[in-house]
Amino acid sequence: MPTVPSASPRTALPPKLGILAGSGPLPRRLVEVCLGSGRPFFVLAFNGETETATVAAGTEHAWVRVGAVGKAIQTLKDAGCVELVLAGPVRRRSPMAFRPDWRGLQFFARIGRRFFGDDGLLSAVIHELEAEGFRVVGAEAILPALLAASGAFGRNAPDAEALADIERGIGILKVLGSLDIGQAVVIQQGVVLGIEAVEGTDRLMERCRDLHREGRGGILVKMPKPGQESRVDLPTIGSRTVERAHRAGLTGIAVEAGGTIVLDREAVGALADRLGLFVYGFERR
């Protein structure tokens, strides 16, 4: 008798993903990806940080305060999460302002002065989560298309003068990044208008709006810090970044290709074209 071919096995779904949702649109983008692919997921939302649109009706989620470390870990375990992704920024405050629970107090005591640097703090958070048996992945592992490609995103591209400003910005960020200071700088005609500190990129551009010189506008340059933990806190841009750059009188945005998250590249390029800015991905030096 002829052999009947056996049915091909179903492709196994990836393990359940826990999305630790900070602010901004990235957490919701990851939710949409999971919904589209059928991947099981759970959102851990933080009071005062996560946007309500991230946990729209039907999304399995729970709300906790940022300092409730013990409750957060137990909630993720009870939800059956195996992999975790940290998505979106959380405002920096003093340890006591987080109102830490007992587990949180132990964590802050253990990391000591590392709390005051982004790299040290985030590495400690990842270590804490992996010690509990979770596997932490980067947002780009869920959606590789998020990473910036090299070259111009739209019709506009930087000219020789703009490329010189971008090179200057890269050099400055390498030095500052080695000191765990910021991921962005605004350069205009070789002059540093502003450096990103704890206030973030949007506030940086607001500050620079009143500092720009006559002539061509400045350029926002963003890139990861040297040796940065790549699974969390990668520089991120989106349409809102382009709008705020235009409002600040900037002429372009330059980001590291392969090291920056871009939320909806096509929309970013189209908006930049409409507003007369360039958005450009430079190769890692």
Residue 198 and residue 118 share a domain: no
Residue 153 and residue 66 share a domain: no
Residue 121 and residue 102 share a domain: yes
The strand pairing partners of 85, in sequence order, are 19, 137
Question: How many structural domains is the chain composed of?
Answer: 2
CA angle 249, 148, 190 (to 5 degrees): 40
Give the Cβ contact number of residue 58 at 10 Å: 7
Supply the pLDDT for residue 104: 79
Q: For 67-93, write each residue's pLDDT tens digit.
A: 899 999 999 999 999 999 999 888 776
Closest CA to 153 of 29, 242, 87: 242
Q: Is residue 1 part of a domain?
A: no
Strand pairing report for 191-195 and 252-256: unpaired
Supply the pLDDT for residue 213: 80
Q: How confident is the model at residue 10 (pLDDT cuts 50, 70, 90)?
A: low
Confidence (pTM):
0.81
Amino acid at 198: V
Residue 110 and residue 44 share a domain: yes
| Phi, then psi, of 23 in degrees rounded to 5 | -90, 175
Supply the pLDDT for residue 199: 81
Q: Is residue 171 part of a domain?
A: yes
C-alpha radius of gyration, the chain, whole number = 21
Residue 274 and residue 153 share a domain: yes
Q: Is residue 7 part of a domain?
A: no
Residue 265 and residue 226 share a domain: yes
Tell me what the pLDDT averaged over the chain comes to.
87
Task: Label residues 17-38 b or e (16+ Cβ within 10 Å = b).
Answer: bbbbbbbbbbbbbbbebbeeee
Residue 77 and residue 30 share a domain: yes
Tokens of 178: 């080695």
CA separation (Å) from 159 to 54, 149, 196, 206, 280? Answer: 39, 18, 24, 25, 11
Residue 184 and residue 89 share a domain: no
The enclosing domain of 62 has a CATH number of 3.40.50.20
Judge whether 27 and 87 are in contact, CB under 8 Å. yes
Q: How confident is the model at residue 7 (pLDDT cuts 50, 70, 90)?
A: very low
Residue 136 and residue 168 share a domain: no
Q: Which stretch of DSSP H or E encloses residue 136? A: strand 135-137
118 Cβ contact list (under 8 Å, min separation 6): 180, 233
Does 133 score more than 70 pLDDT? yes
Last residue of a domain, one of 126, 142, 158: 142
Q: Is residue 181 part of a domain?
A: yes
Q: Is residue 182 part of a domain?
A: yes
Domain interval for residue 154: 147-282
Supply the pLDDT for residue 186: 97
Last residue of a domain, one of 142, 166, 199: 142
Amino acid at 149: A
Q: Which stretch of DSSP H or E encloses residue 174? A: helix 160-178
Q: Is residue 137 part of a domain?
A: yes
7 Cβ contact list (under 8 Å, min separation 6): none
Residue 166 and residue 93 share a domain: no
Supply the pLDDT for residue 3: 44
Q: Is residue 11 part of a domain?
A: no
Average pLDDT over every residue of 57-68: 89
Give the Cβ contact number of residue 11 at 10 Å: 6
Last residue of a domain, one of 102, 118, 142: 142
The residue among 6 and 252 whose pLDDT is bigger is 252
Residue 26 and residue 138 share a domain: yes
Residue with tokens 């111009």: 152
Q: How confident is the model at residue 95 (pLDDT cuts 50, 70, 90)?
A: low
Residue with tokens 């040297």: 226
Does 117 score more than 70 pLDDT? no
CA angle 209, 215, 216 (to 5 degrees): 75
Q: Which stretch of DSSP H or E encloses residue 85? A: strand 83-87
pLDDT above 70 covers a percentage of the chain that reads 90
Q: Is residue 75 part of a domain?
A: yes
What SS3 class is residue 132?
A: coil
Residue 155 and residue 77 share a domain: no
Average pLDDT over every residue of 182-204: 91
Amino acid at 21: A
Q: How confident is the model at residue 216 (pLDDT cuts 50, 70, 90)?
A: confident
The enclosing domain of 197 has a CATH number of 3.40.140.80
